[in-house]
Amino acid sequence: MREPLAADQAERLAPLLKALADPVRLRLVSIVAASEGGEACVCDLNDAFDLSQPTISHHLKVLHDAGLLDRSKRGVWVYYAVRREVLADLAALIGGNA
């Protein structure tokens, strides 16, 4: 960073960081981002954790509501995809080359 965050930038980024400040949610984002095509079915995400389906769904809702994940329903399954532009904003904040 070459200059401090403006107040509006801090207001926009704080909820994203808050949503990621949980180990399960951080792993969920990394699993989705690393999945083929940058998206993953909720059915596959449930299998990656020793947690109940409602707990995983809650974490995914927090990530979606924060703007980190997009979701789309296909039949009975929901697919999640990372919002690359949002991750790029976060990378720029912590010193990445986004």
Inform me whether the pLDDT recorded for 98 exceeds 50. Answer: no
The predicted pLDDT at position 1 comes to 58
Query: Residue 15, Cα to own-chain centre: how many angstroms?
Result: 11
- pLDDT tens by residue, 27-51: 999 999 999 988 999 988 988 999 9
Mean pLDDT of the chain: 89
Cβ neighbours for 17, distance < 8 A, ≥ 6 positions apart: 90
pLDDT exceeds cutoff 80 at 2: no
**CA–CA–CA angle 94, 4, 12 (5° rounding):** 65
- Domain spanning 7-93 has what CATH number? 1.10.10.10
| Token duo for residue 49 | 């954790």
